């Protein structure tokens, strides 16, 4: 009997007993019971060729072996996965769920697997980056090596993805584990697979951010879009402008110091995750005293931006920076028009002429456009920090002159695909790269299960040329924190973000059915729950081996 069939029989024995007691167990008050798969990885691999048979794994006699290049990232990954797999415990802070031991059957299979041979073909890179190589090949008792398990990749980032897959296909059976013979060749569909998390509207402690990074890695996300500040609070502690947090944070303890940022960046690095911070310029609702002073002293803004962005660039090693730019209220800006330094208008002769002839509404629009234009020109040409910027779609829609390699982030019209697909088409037709988040807002919660609709969304689902679609970098699941804090951030995000991860990683044609994904997602949810994370249930169910 194949291990998948055998494991399914072992792990569903309780379910079969229950059905004899109550034939209606397959549905609860109209909610169907979804029987989880066994030993299926998440997200779905690009190519998987199951073999015959399985191998057994004894936790006391198993190691990861580096057969190629090595580095600190690989060494830490071996330690991390040894703990994750065999103790079901997050090695940093979380305790595993109480588990009920099952009696081991006499598993023999194709023999005992004592190691996973990990062959990293190239030296490790320092930090993850856009278009990094994440491809890997995982073989378990393959025809060319029937008694071995091998993981091969050209990059450390591919090795990390392969280790996660290996950790998911092992099935616990009493004191032993089993793993099906298989060959997996896997790589992501999109280079940019992100999770956006807001820490301004509610401050999130560092441990919750790290916990979210763990879960991202377990779903093969590779971008942490850190919406670190907004008008509600400014918890980023700047050395060059300490008043930003001193006057802008909720309190003097609700802040992220340089040490905190280093912890997040390096923790993410070890997981193969990039950290892209977002600093709104201008703020969504510029009401703070500091923002007003900035607007009233426009002639100083270039110095301010230069100093602040140079500091940000030194703290966040990624080549990309998100500059926000969404929901700028023109009424607020227009009230500040008379406060603008005349020297600013004097530097823009065209602006001065048009400004004097414009209507009030045009003044608002034109003022914002020229302000943004000045910021982008200064930050891109004068600062010379070699950063590439991401902006929300309003910046593009308002006709701001932006650098050719600027990435436009589409987020509006979540319930109207024809509109957000039209927006991506317009952005890419203009030659800009694009990201999609419109359909993946995790904070828009519905009663019951709402993750199924995430499978209806595809960043390349618009009508456009192949060249346009090649400009789509990927997308992000977004969590805004008006009603989210440390008490519910993990359970609200996970496992609801997992379908987004699969749509961004897996083959488009293999991941269009929520019904097909449902049993695998049930298993994945139990897997994350068993590892110690407070992930919410998907409906009436239970997790085998977890009390």
Q: Using omega within 30 degrees of 0 as the cis cutoff, is the peptide bond preceding 500 cis?
A: no
The b/e string for 455-469 (b: 16+ C-beta within 10 A; e otherwise) is: bebbbbbbebeeebb
Instruction: Tokens 């002839």: give the residue.
Output: 357
Instruction: Tokens 């989880």: give the residue.
Output: 36
The CA angle 294-298-300, to the nearest 5 degrees, is: 85
Q: Which two tokens stand for residue 449?
A: 């299960």
- Supply φ then ψ for residue 212, to 5 degrees: -65, -35
CB contact at 8 A, 258 and 235: no
CB contact at 8 A, 380 and 313: no
CB contact at 8 A, 4 and 38: yes
CB contact at 8 A, 170 and 85: yes
E strand or H helix that includes residue 196: strand 192-198
Q: What is the dihedral of CA 109, 115, 119, 120, to 10 degrees?
A: 130
Strands 170-173 and 176-186: antiparallel
Marked catalytic residue, from 9, 26, 207, 327 = 327
> Judging by beta carbons within 10 Å of its beta carbon (0-12, 13-18, 19+), is residue 415 exposed, middle or buried?
exposed
Residue 327 annotated as catalytic:
yes
> Judging by beta carbons within 10 Å of its beta carbon (0-12, 13-18, 19+), is residue 488 exposed, middle or buried?
middle
Q: Name which of 18, 297, 273, 246 is nearest 134 in CA terms.
A: 273
Strand pairing partners for 55?
179
Q: Using omega within 30 degrees of 0 as the cis cutoff, is the peptide bond preceding 43 cis?
A: yes
Q: How far apart are CA 19 and CA 28, in angstroms?
A: 12
CB contact at 8 A, 506 and 220: no
Q: Name which of 238, 228, 234, 310 is nearest 276 in CA terms.
A: 228
At what angle are helices 258-270 and 72-87 packed, to 10 degrees? 80
Q: How far apart are CA 261 and CA 271, in angstroms?
A: 16
- Residues involved in catalysis: 327
């Amino acid at each position: 009997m194949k291990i998948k069939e055998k494991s399914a029989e072992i792990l569903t024995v309780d379910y079969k007993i229950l059905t004899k007691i109550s034939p209606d167990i397959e549905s609860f008050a109209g909610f169907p019971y979804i029987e989880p798969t066994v030993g299926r990885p998440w997200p779905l691999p690009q190519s998987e060729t199951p073999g015959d048979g399985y191998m057994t794994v004894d936790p006391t006699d198993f190691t990861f072996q580096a057969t190629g290049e090595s580095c600190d990232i690989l060494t830490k990954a071996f330690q991390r996965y040894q703990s994750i797999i065999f103790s079901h415990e997050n090695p940093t802070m979380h305790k595993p769920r109480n588990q009920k031991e099952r009696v081991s059957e006499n598993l023999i299979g194709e023999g005992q697997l004592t190691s996973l041979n990990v062959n990293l073909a190239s030296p490790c890179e320092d930090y993850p980056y856009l278009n990094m190589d994440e491809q890997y090949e995982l073989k378990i008792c393959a025809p060319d090596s029937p008694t071995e398990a091998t993981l091969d990749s050209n990059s450390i980032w591919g090795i990390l993805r392969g280790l996660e897959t290996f950790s998911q296909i092992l099935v616990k059976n009493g004191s032993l584990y089993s793993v099906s013979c298989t060959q997996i060749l896997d790589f992501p569909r999109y280079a940019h697979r992100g999770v956006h998390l807001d820490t301004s509207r509610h401050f999130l402690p560092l441990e919750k951010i790290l916990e979210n990074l763990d879960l991202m890695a377990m779903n093969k996300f590779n971008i942490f879009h850190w919406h670190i500040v907004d008008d509600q609070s400014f918890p980023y502690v700047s050395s060059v402008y300490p008043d930003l947090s001193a006057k802008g944070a909720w309190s003097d303890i609700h802040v992220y110091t340089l040490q905190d940022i280093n912890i997040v960046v390096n923790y993410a690095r070890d997981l193969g995750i990039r950290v892209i911070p977002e600093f709104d310029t201008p703020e969504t609702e510029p009401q703070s005293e500091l923002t007003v002073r900035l607007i009233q002293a426009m002639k100083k803004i270039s110095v301010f931006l230069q100093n602040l962005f140079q500091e940000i660039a030194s703290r966040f090693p990624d080549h990309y920076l998100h500059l926000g730019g969404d929901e700028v209220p023109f009424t607020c800006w227009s009230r500040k028009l008379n406060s603008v330094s005349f020297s600013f208008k004097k530097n823009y002769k065209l602006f001065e002429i048009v400004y004097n002839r414009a209507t009030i509404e045009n003044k608002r629009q034109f003022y914002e456009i020229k302000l943004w234009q000045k910021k982008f020109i200064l930050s891109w040409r004068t600062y010379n920090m070699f950063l590439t910027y991401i902006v929300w779609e309003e910046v593009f829609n308002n006709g701001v002159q932006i650098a050719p390699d600027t990435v436009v982030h589409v987020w509006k019209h979540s319930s109207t695909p024809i509109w957000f697909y039209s927006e991506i088409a317009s952005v890419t037709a203009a030659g800009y790269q694009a990201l999609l988040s419109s359909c993946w807002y995790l904070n828009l919660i519905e009663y019951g299960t709402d993750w199924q609709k995430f499978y209806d969304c595809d960043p390349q689902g618009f009508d456009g040329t192949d060249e346009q679609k090649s400009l789509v970098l990927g997308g992000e699941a977004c969590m805004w924190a008006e009603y989210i804090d440390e008490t519910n951030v993990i359970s609200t995000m996970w496992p609801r973000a997992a379908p987004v991860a699969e749509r961004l990683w897996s083959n488009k044609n293999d991941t269009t059915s929520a019904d097909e994904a449902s049993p695998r997602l049930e298993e994945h949810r139990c897997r994350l729950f068993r590892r110690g994370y407070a992930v919410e249930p998907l409906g009436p169910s239970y997790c085998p081996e977890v009390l």
